[in-house]
Chains A and B, each alone.
Chain A
Amino acid sequence: MIVTADVTKNYGSSCVVDGVTLSLPKGGITSIIGPNGAGKSTLLSMVSRLMDMDKGTVTVDGLDVTKTPSDVLARRLSILRQDNHMTARLTVHDLVSFGRYPYSKGRLTVEDKRHIDEAIGYLNLNDLSGRFLDELSGGQRQRAFVAMVLCQDTDYVLLDEPLNNLDMKHAMGMMKLLRRAANELGKTVVLVLHDINFASWYSDYIVAMKNGKVAHEGPAAAIVTPDVLSDVYEMDIKVHEIGGQRVSLYYE
C-alpha cells in the first residue's frame, strides 16, 4: 500500500500540492485525474522520490521513500515520467535490460535475461528489439519504456500520463496491457490520466485532484458521476452508462 500523509510542495509562494493524505490500495489500477495544474504529476514525483517534498511523508509498504536506500526502493517501485526526451541512442533490448540495473548493477544473470525476454515478449517488441529508440514511432518507443519498467519487476508501477502522444489504438492497447499486468502479474499500477473515459473504463480506484488537494477519491463507479466530475473540472459533464461502463460526455 502507498500511504501519503500531509504531503506538501510549494513553488515559491504557490502551493502545488497541499497537504495530501491518501492511501492507495494494493493491486489493480488507480488513476489520478484532475485539471491541469492540480498537482497530479508533482504528487506522483514525490511518491516516487524523484522530487523532495516540503512537508509530509510517503511510505510504500511501510518504507519511507525519503529514507529508504534508492536501490532498495527501485526493486519495489518504478516510475515512468511523461518526458522521456532521449539523447542517448540505445536499442530497445539495451533499454529494457537497464530495467534490471537495480538487481544486477550491470552484470546480467540468467534470471535477469529471462526477465528481459519476458518483458520484450509481453509488449510485443520481439521484432523491434535490435532497433534504436530514435528509429521508432512514438507509440513503439512508449511501449519500449513500459517494457523497461515491467522488466524492473516492481510491485508498484507508476506512470505519468502514459497515453500522451498515443493515438486511440495505441492508447487502448497500452491500457489493456496495464490491465493485464495488474491482473496477471499482480502489479499495482498508479497512473496520471487526462482522459477521464480511459480512467473510467480501466481503473479500479480513482483519485480526483483539484488545486493541489484531493477533491474526491473512491472506486471508479463512485467518482465517474456527473456531480463529482463537474465539481472537479468546473464544467458541465454528463455521464452515460453504456454496456455497464460509464462514459462521460463533455463536448458542449
Chain B
Amino acid sequence: MRWLLLAFVVTLILAVISLFVGVSDVSIGALLSSSAEDRPMQVLLISRIPRTLAIVLSGASMAIAGLVMQMVVRNRFVEPSTAGTTESASLGFLVITLLAPGWPLIGKMGVAAVFAMAGTALFLRILRAVPLRDVMLVPLVGIMLGGIIGAITTFFAYRFGLLASLLAWNMGDFSGIMRGRYELLWIGLACAVVAYIAADRFTVAGMGRDFTTNLGLNYQRVMVLGLVIVSVVSAVVLVSVGSIPFLGLIVPNVVSLMVGDNMRRTVPWVAISGAGFVLACDILGRVIRAPYEIPISVVVGVIGSMVFLYLLLRTRRNAA
C-alpha cells in the first residue's frame, strides 16, 4: 500500500512536469504574472492540461486493456497490438471514414470498437481451433493476424488516397491533442473502472474455463466482458491518440512480477504505472531533440520492445 502511494506520487510529479515542458513559455512565474486571458494561461488550459490528461488516461486504460486481455487469453504476451485488435480498430475507423466522413468522432469510435471486437473474436477463434502448446506462438499468431488486417487496411487507404491519415492514426502522437480532442478518452477510464469492479471475475477466468465453472461463474460472459473492455479502450485510444504499441504488454508484466496477478490488487498498480510510464516516455520524447518532438509510439516502441525482449528471454530461461 505504501509503495502504491509512492508510485502515485511519482506519477503525479511526472504529470506536473509534463504540464511545464514545451516550446511555449508556461511556468508558474509566467502564470502568476499574467492574467487569465494571456498566452501562458491559455496554452495551459487549451493545450497542456488536455495533453497531460490524454497521456494519463490513455496510458492507464491501455495498460488495463493489456492486463484484461492477458487474463482472458491466459497468455502473458498478448495485448491489443499483438492480437489483431488495434489493426481491426484501425480498419473500422478507415471504413467509417470512407463511408460516412461526416459522422462525429464518437460514432466513428463506436464503429472502430465493433471492428476491434470482431477482430479479437476472430483471434480467439483461431486460438481455439489451433491449440498451441508454446506460449510464444500465441502472440505470433496475433501479430500475423494483425499483419493481414493491416495489409487490407493499407490497401484500401492507398486506393482511396488516405494513406497519410492512416499513418497518422497508427502512429500514436500526443502533439495534436487540444481541448475538445481528447475527451473520448474518459470512456477508456470508465472501462478501467469496470475492469476494477469485475477484477475478481477476470482473475478467476485467468485460471481457465474449468476453474471458472467450478466457482459458479459463467466463463463465456466474463470473456465477452473482457473483449468489450479491450476493444473499446483500443478504439478510443486509436481514434484520439493513435496506437501505442507494447504498453499493454510490458506494464502488466512488470507489475505481475512485483505484486502477482490478483487483479483486485494489480488494477491500481497497472493503471498508475501505465500512466507514469507514458508520461515519462512523452517527456523524454519532448526534450530529447527540443524544440522538435518524437512521437510517443516511437519512444514507447523502442523502450517497450527492449523490455519485451527481456521478458521473453527471461521466460525462456525459466522454462529451460
Complex CA–CA separation, A87 to B264 (angstroms): 17
B260 touches A70 (CB 8 A): no
Given A101-B200, A101-B215, A132-B260, answer yes or no on A81-B210 (Cβ-Cβ < 8 Å).
yes
**Category for how many chain B residues contact A:** 20 to 34
Mark out the residues of chain B between 205 and 228 whose CB falls within 8 Å of any chain A CB in the assembled complex.
206-211, 213-218
Does B75 touch A at the CB level, under 8 Å? yes
Complex CA–CA separation, A69 to B76 (angstroms): 32
Report the minimum CB–CB distance from B318 to chain A (whole Å): 9
Mark out the residues of chain A between 26 and 81 whose CB falls within 8 Å of any chain B CB in the assembled complex.
45, 48-50, 69-75, 78-81
Complex CA–CA separation, A80 to B211 (angstroms): 8
Given A88-B261, A106-B200, answer yes or no on A49-B213 (Cβ-Cβ < 8 Å).
yes
Report the minimum CB–CB distance from A163 to chain B (whole Å): 19
Given A81-B210, A88-B207, A94-B260, answer yes or no on A74-B215 (Cβ-Cβ < 8 Å).
yes
Given A88-B206, A90-B262, answer yes or no on A71-B217 (Cβ-Cβ < 8 Å).
yes
Does B203 touch A at the CB level, under 8 Å? yes
Mark out the residues of chain B between 90 and 114 whose CB falls within 8 Å of any chain A CB in the assembled complex.
none
Proximity string of chain A (140-179) to chain B, C-beta cutoff 8 Å, 1 when within and 0 when not: 0000000001001000000000000000000000000000
Does B251 touch A at the CB level, under 8 Å? no
A78 touches B214 (CB 8 A): yes
Which residues of A lie under 8 Å from residue B216 when comparing CB positions? Answer: 69-75, 101-102
Set B71, B75, B214: member contacting A48, Cβ < 8 A: B214
Does A137 touch B at the CB level, under 8 Å? no
Does A84 touch B at the CB level, under 8 Å? yes
A87 touches B76 (CB 8 A): yes
Which residues of A lie under 8 Å from residue B210 when comparing CB positions? Answer: 45, 50, 79, 81
Mark out the residues of chain B between 185 and 209 whose CB falls within 8 Å of any chain A CB in the assembled complex.
199-200, 203-204, 206-209
Does A197 touch B at the CB level, under 8 Å? no
A89 touches B261 (CB 8 A): yes
User: Which residue in chain B gives the minimum CB-CB distance to A95?
Assistant: B207
Does B74 touch A at the CB level, under 8 Å? yes
Does A98 touch B at the CB level, under 8 Å? yes
A85 touches B200 (CB 8 A): no
Does B256 touch A at the CB level, under 8 Å? yes
User: Which residue in chain B gives the minimum CB-CB distance to A73?
Assistant: B216
Does A242 touch B at the CB level, under 8 Å? no
Which residues of B lie under 8 Å from residue A86 when comparing CB positions? Answer: 207
* Contact residues of A: prevailing secondary structure: loop
Report the minimum CB–CB distance from A25 to chain B (whole Å): 22
B203 touches A98 (CB 8 A): yes
Does A91 touch B at the CB level, under 8 Å? yes
Complex CA–CA separation, A174 to B211 (angstroms): 20
Mark out the residues of chain B between 273 and 304 whose CB falls within 8 Å of any chain A CB in the assembled complex.
none
Complex CA–CA separation, A115 to B122 (angstroms): 42
B71 touches A88 (CB 8 A): yes
B208 touches A74 (CB 8 A): no
Set A48, A101, A149: member contacting B217, Cβ < 8 A: A101
Report the minimum CB–CB distance from B152 to chain A (whole Å): 32
Complex CA–CA separation, A71 to B218 (angstroms): 9
Which residues of B lie under 8 Å from residue A81 when comparing CB positions? Answer: 210-211
Complex CA–CA separation, A70 to B261 (angstroms): 25
Report the minimum CB–CB distance from B199 to chain A (whole Å): 8
Complex CA–CA separation, A88 to B261 (angstroms): 6
Report the minimum CB–CB distance from B69 to chain A (whole Å): 13
Complex CA–CA separation, A79 to B212 (angstroms): 11
Set B204, B213, B262, B264: member contacting A50, Cβ < 8 A: B213
Complex CA–CA separation, A49 to B216 (angstroms): 10
B256 touches A89 (CB 8 A): yes
Which residues of A lie under 8 Å from residue B203 when comparing CB positions? Answer: 88, 90, 98
Complex CA–CA separation, A140 to B206 (angstroms): 20
Which residues of A lie under 8 Å from residue B215 when comparing CB positions? Answer: 74, 98-99, 101-102, 152
User: Which residue in chain A gives the minimum CB-CB distance to B201?
Assistant: A106
Which residues of B lie under 8 Å from residue A90 when comparing CB positions? Answer: 203, 207, 260-262
User: Which residue in chain B gives the minimum CB-CB distance to A91?
Assistant: B260
Which residues of A lie under 8 Å from residue B74 when comparing CB positions? Answer: 87-88
Mark out the residues of chain B between 65 and 87 whose CB falls within 8 Å of any chain A CB in the assembled complex.
71, 74-76
Which residues of B lie under 8 Å from residue A79 when comparing CB positions? Answer: 210, 214
B262 touches A91 (CB 8 A): yes
User: Which residue in chain A gives the minimum CB-CB distance to B199?
Assistant: A106
A70 touches B217 (CB 8 A): yes
B206 touches A87 (CB 8 A): yes
Among A89, A105, A132, max chain B CB count under 10 A is at: A89
User: Which residue in chain B gives the minimum CB-CB distance to A132?
Assistant: B260
Complex CA–CA separation, A98 to B200 (angstroms): 8
Closest 3 CB pairs of A and B: A74-B216, A71-B216, A106-B200
A-B contact pairs, 13 of them (CB 8 A): A48-B214, A50-B213, A50-B214, A70-B216, A70-B218, A79-B210, A81-B211, A84-B207, A87-B74, A88-B203, A89-B261, A90-B261, A90-B262
Further pairs besides A81-B211, A85-B208, A90-B262: 11, Cβ < 8 Å: A48-B213, A50-B210, A79-B210, A84-B211, A88-B74, A88-B206, A94-B262, A98-B200, A102-B216, A105-B200, A149-B214
